[in-house]
Amino acid sequence: MHSHLIPGIDDGSPSMQATIEMLKGFVDLGYEKVITTPHIMFDFYKNTPKIIRDGLADVQNEIRNQQIPITLEAAAEYYFDEHFLSLIDKDELLTFGNRHLLFEFSFRTKPNGVDEVVFELKSKGYQPILAHYERYLFFLSDGVKPAEKLKSKGVEIQMNLNSLTGYYGQKVKRQAELLVDANLIDYLGTDCHRLVHLEMIKANLDSKYFRKLNEMTFKNADLY
């Protein structure tokens, strides 16, 4: 879960060809199912359920045409902004699994009102999942304590696999390692935008922390 594979609708795949290359890369890594999550960020990516579903249908048709042995579903990655809040009020959110909802913050600016929004989401029957906790700069100085607080409020935590490769820098890598050591991760994701993201994962499968992941249990399997 967590990828950007529908071509041309966000900062992920630029073309159907690139999407197919990435899907074949997922198959090479042993994936059987992928949940792709295009950005919904009102100032930049004004995606709607119809845009995402239409794009998903196009990719699914190409998967069938090329007989790629993988299942593709779609939801969204919601940016924590006023548009997101309005969609909660309207109950117009794209989810996966059992009303699981992926959302993200600004990487640099700590948001206000998170507890209240989480409470509203939970009261409406959603399961909020915070994308790539380890990448938020305002959490770095506090390590995993904010993750523990978020989980106590009912938020589940998703970590990007490439955070453990150093792809996003050494500070993010260390934060990801702390998450692993504290066993605070609910979901692993690739956050795949380009084929290079899968190539980085493949190159690090035998690293120390990837081996640790193999010994742990995550909720990804519940989404099958």
Asked, for residue 5, whether it belongs to a domain, the answer is no
The CATH number of the domain holding residue 186 is: 3.20.20.140
- Asked whether residue 9 is domain-assigned, the answer is no
Say whether pLDDT at 38 is over 90: yes
Q: Pick from 139, 161, 1: which is nearest to 72 by CA?
A: 1
Q: What is the pLDDT of residues 158-178, one digit of tens each?
A: 999 999 999 999 999 999 999
Range of the domain at 137: 16-219
Residue 224 has pLDDT above 80, yes or no: no
| CB-based contact 35:52 (threshold 8 Å) | no
4 within a domain of the structure (yes/no): no
Predicted confidence (pLDDT) per residue in 99-117, tens digit = 999 999 999 999 999 999 9
- Residue 78 in this model has a pLDDT that exceeds 90: yes
Question: Please, are residues 91 and 126 in contact by the beta-carbon 8 Å criterion?
Answer: no
pLDDT in tens, 183-202: 999 999 999 999 999 999 99
Task: Please give the tally of structural domains in the chain.
Answer: 1
Tell me how far apart the alpha carbons of residues 150 and 156 are, in angstroms, rounded to a whole number.
8
In degrees and rounded to multiples of 5, residue 85 shows phi and psi of: -65, -40
Q: Give the model confidence (pLDDT) of 15-27 as tens digits.
A: 999 999 999 999 9
* pTM reported for the whole predicted model: 0.95
| Average pLDDT across the chain, whole number | 96
pLDDT at 43: 83
Band of residue 42 on the pLDDT scale cut at 50, 70, 90: confident
Centre a 10 Å sphere on the Cβ of residue 144 and count the other Cβ atoms it contains.
20
User: Strands 77-79 and 156-160: what pairing?
Assistant: unpaired
Residue 224 lies in a domain: no
| Residue pair 29/76 in contact by the 8 Å Cβ criterion | no
Alpha helices (H) in the chain, listed in sequence order: 16-28, 49-66, 82-90, 114-123, 145-152, 170-181, 195-203, 208-214
